Amino acid sequence: MDHNVQLYRRMVTIRRFETLLIDQFKTGVFPGTTHTSLGQEANAVGVLAHLAEDDVVVSNHRCHGHFLAYGGDPQALFAELMGKPSGVCGGVGGSQHLHWRNFYSSGVQGGTVAMAAGMALAEKRAGRGAIVVDFMGDGTLGEGIVYECLNMISLWQLPILIVLENNHIAQTTPASLAVAGSIQKRFEAFDIPTVELDSSDVLEILPLAGDLVEQVRTNREPRALIISTARLGAHSKGDDTRSTSELTGLWQTRDPLPILGERLVEETRNAVEADVEAVIQVAFEAALAADGGTQ
Amino acid sequence: MTSPTPRTVLDSLNLGLHQALHDDPRVVLLGEDLLDPYGGAFKVARGLSSAFPKQVLTTPISEAGITGIAGGMALRGMRPVVEIMFGDFTTLIADQVINHLVKFNGMYHGQAQAPVVIRTPMGGRRGYGPTHSQTLEKYFLGVPGLTVLAPFNLLGEAPLGAPGQLLHETILNADSPALFVEHKLQYLLKLHSAQDLAEYSLSTLHMGGAIDCPFYSLRLKTAPAAQITLAAYGYMAQLALDALHQLAYEDEIFCELLVPTQLAPFELAPLFDAVAHTGRLLTIEEGTFSLGWGAEVLARTVEALGSGLRKAGRLAAREGVISVAPDLEAECLPGTADIVRRVREMV
């Protein structure tokens, strides 16, 4: 398959998963709440395309996209969100606490950065050559432990790529009310080489992330990638306080799917979308048919 | 490695760490000011960075960060040990312990474990004042998934001494996170040898599990049946032992002292057996009174024995700020004289 088509397919997989999830939440098959990756698909796909088998991924509360881009099974994720034994973590962890192979996510802001730093320290000591990719958001910059960890990540030259997805909003609070100064300079203050990219184009994210992954892998040093992005959905299900015009504008300019999709042959694009639609539907129904969870 | 016989609790813990670092390359000690010649604020880590330079990592003043990092290391197969310089600073690691370390195993459905050992000295009586003298382990005793341990100053059978043996075993064998509670004055206590305890009948019950946590019971050999059961751990267990001795010789009141080394999860069967005979229980702790260790021990004893527990008391620190002034500090924290007085009231 053409590489761009493959990237598109991965992004559509995340998109269809999340839209079906939001649609089906109303029916009561999913307990609790969830956070979706709508609008941030290109980050997950563009970065994780570069992982080697032993590499470790640490993600946060908004982790479905990362999990699926890592290669996680949509059916197991649906089942997890339904609280079923067949879920990724037996239905215990739910939306924000996933662990499968070398993928880990957790829901308390900041703590995942410490987890990721510890894993990078373990990998450095083991000398296996693996690296850690840690996803965090702009909202997490409010947590003190982040700075404790950036300090140690730099002091100990840990093999970690921090991917900061700056969607400019933390739940309902715009970054202008929560983040002072420069994000890039935060990392640079700790001598962590940092690149900033304002794009929802996976074809721009992909090579940049590839370079940084390579630098971390080769030099056994930390790097940071700040991706200015857009959260197209609510924080969780329906708690979006942004204006319709703001959201419409974001959908028109920052949706990663048409940004890549428009560069594909239309027939191919339609075929991918139809195929993924079917795959996600089958995954959902299979998860729903499994025993346990909400009844 | 060959090791000299440890003399004090400090020696024993130091030997336990030496042995653990020697036995398993996955063991890494992290903490503030650990490097020689300083060897940690209370010297428990003395010599370790010289003997195992790659396994001892001195850190910035970032208690939360190093505890969280230790969690990540443990998830990837290492056996990290974190030294928190003062027990008071465990408030800084609470989120890492409660929302991270103890959660991993359950929330990842048994597919991961994080056997991090966190060592820290609690306790006062050194004039360090309000924020460096507290006994805060009670805040961690109700954390599901966390094992809380406190050593007792016995030499025991092991070459490491009982405290070092318990620490060594915890570091190498724990399958879940553990808080290992030391005490600043306990460091200097001599380890009791069998000869030192010749006057006492000591029984050691082994509680089983991933870590073999001994539950000790002490009484005077020639004494009649005990009239009251004292329950204490760590440094307070030594003060209780002193009180037990004094009460026997000055008042002819005979006590039995029960000393758990595993504080949480609460496994108190040996204590229930003892109280079933005496009908009286006094719990003794250095933490503050309300919702403390003693409250839980008493509640469980009542549940187990019902009216078999005829009289109960709790001795704990006063609920206030621990002063630097020696007289005010002594008034605040329970001492041997307080134990003696309470026992006289209860028997």
CATH of the domain at B325: 3.40.50.920
* CA atoms of A76 and A67, how far apart (whole Å): 11
Contact criterion met (CB < 8 Å) for B68 and A114: yes
Residue of B nearest to A86 (CA): B109
Q: Find the distance separating the first CA and the last CA of chain A, reported in whole Å.
A: 40
Give yes or no: residues B133 and B170 share one domain: yes
* Residue B333 CB partners (closer than 8 Å, separation 6+): B124, B125, B286, B317, B318, B322
Tell whether the model's pLDDT for residue B2 goes beyond 60.
no
Structural element, H or E, at residue B271: helix B269-278
A residues 22-61 lying closer than 8 A (beta carbon) to B:
56, 58
Residues whose CB is less than 8 angstroms from the CB of residue A265 and which lie 6 or more positions away in sequence, other chains included: none
What is the spatial distance between Cα A68 and Cα B290, in angstroms, rounded to a whole number?
A: 49
Alpha-helical segments (H) within B42-145: 48-51, 63-75, 94-95, 104-107
72-101 of B, contacting A, C-beta below 8 A: 72-78, 80, 95-96, 99-100
Containing domain of residue B18, as a range?
9-188
Whether residue B193 lies inside any domain: the answer is: no
Q: Are residues B184 and B326 in the same domain?
A: no
Cβ neighbours of residue A44 closer than 8 Å, sequence gap 6 or more: A14, A37, A65, A66, A68, A69, A135
Tell me which chain A residues have a C-beta less than 8 angstroms from the C-beta of B28: 125
Domain CATH code at residue B152:
3.40.50.970
- Give the position of tokens 């443990």: B74
Q: Is B158 on the interface with A (CB under 8 A)?
A: no
**Are residues B211 and B135 part of one domain?**
no
pLDDT of B164 > 60? The answer is: yes
- What angle in degrees, to the nearest 10, is found between the helix axes of A41-48 and A3-25? 140
Q: Tell me if B74 and A118 make a contact (CB, 8 A cut-off).
A: yes
- B130 and B32, same domain (yes or no): yes
B39 and B177 share one domain: yes
Query: What is the CA angle B327-B332-B333, rounded to 5?
Result: 105
Inter-residue contact B77 to B124 (CB < 8 Å): no
Give me the CATH code for the A3-289 domain, please: 3.40.50.970
B65 interfacial to chain A (CB closer than 8 Å):
yes
Q: With an 8 Å Cβ cutoff, is B66 touching chain A? A: yes
| Domain co-membership, B163 together with B229 | no
**Three-class DSSP category at B223:** coil
Residues B62, A152: C-beta atoms closer than 8 Å: yes
Chain B residues whose CB is inside 8 A of the A156 CB are 57
B330 in the same domain as B206? yes
* pLDDT of amino acid B3: 63
pLDDT score, position B1? 47
Give pLDDT, residue A99: 98
Query: In whole angstroms, what is the distance from residue B190 CA to residue B153 CA?
Result: 7
Q: Per the CB < 8 Å rule, is B64 touching A145? A: yes
Q: Give the one of A106, A125, A148 whose C-beta lies nearest to B64's C-beta.
A: A148
Residues in chain B: 347
pLDDT tens for residues A168-215? 999 999 999 999 999 999 999 999 999 999 999 999 999 999 999 999
CA distance A283 to A18: 13
User: What pLDDT is attached to residue B146?
Assistant: 98
- CA-nearest residue of chain A to B94? A111
Of the residues B188, B218, B237, the one at which a domain ends: B188
> How many CB atoms lie under 10 A from the CB of residue B266?
16
The total of other beta-carbon atoms located within 10 Å of residue B85's CB is 18
The alpha carbon of A116 is separated from its chain's Cα centroid by a whole number of angstroms, namely: 14
Chain A residues touching B57 at Cβ < 8 A: 156
Tokens of A149: 């960890």
Please check whether residues B34 and B157 belong to one and the same domain: yes
Q: Does A97 touch chain B (CB under 8 A)?
A: yes
Number of folded domains that form chain B: 2
ipTM: 0.96
Least confident of A143-147, B4-8, B97-101, B277-281: B4-8
Q: How many CA atoms, within 13 angstroms, populate the side-chain half-sphere of residue B173?
A: 12
Q: What residues 144-183 of chain A have any CB closer than 8 A to a CB of chain B? A: 144-145, 148-149, 151-152, 155-156
Q: Is B2 inside a domain boundary?
A: no
**Does residue B195 form part of some domain?**
no
Question: Which helix (H) or strand (E) segment is A211 a member of?
Answer: helix A202-219
How many angstroms separate the Cα of B24 from the Cα of each of A209, B77, B168, B282?
A: 37, 12, 11, 41
- For residue A40, is it left (φ>0), alpha (ψ between -120 and 50) or beta? alpha
Mean pLDDT of B146-171: 96
Tens-digit pLDDT profile for residues B312-346: 999 999 999 999 999 999 999 999 999 999 999 99
Domain chopping of chain A, boundaries: 3-289
**Which residues of chain B make contact with A99, given a CB cutoff of 8 A?**
108-109, 111-112
Which among B62, B80, B100 is the nearest to A106, CB-wise?
B100
Rounded to whole angstroms, how far apart are CA atoms A58 and A67? 10
Q: Which of B188, B214, B233 is the last residue of a domain?
A: B188
Give the end-to-end CA distance of chain B in Å, rounded to a whole number: 50
Q: Is residue B235 part of a domain?
A: yes
pLDDT given for residue A294 in this prediction: 60
Predicted model pTM: 0.97
Question: With an 8 Å Cβ cutoff, are A114 and B73 in contact?
Answer: no
Strand B178-183 and strand B228-232: the pairing is unpaired
* C-alpha–C-alpha distance, residues B255 and B257, integer Å: 6
Sign of CA dihedral B316, B318, B319, B320: negative
Q: Which of B130, B157, B188 is the last residue of a domain?
A: B188
Residues B152, B22 share a domain: yes
CA distance B347 to B344: 6
pLDDT range class, residue A1, cuts 50, 70, 90: low
If asked whether residues B183 and B214 sit together in one domain, one would say no
* pLDDT tens-digit series, residues B13-35: 999 999 999 999 999 999 999 99
Do B330 and B220 lie in one domain? The reply is yes
**Using CB atoms, which residue from A89, A122, A156 is nearest to B76?**
A122
- How far away is chain A from the Cα of B126, in angstroms, using its nearest Cα? 30
Of A89, A144, A152, the CB nearest to B69: A152
Same domain, B224 and B176: no
| Residues in chain A closer than 8 A to B62 (CB atoms) | 145, 148-149, 151-152
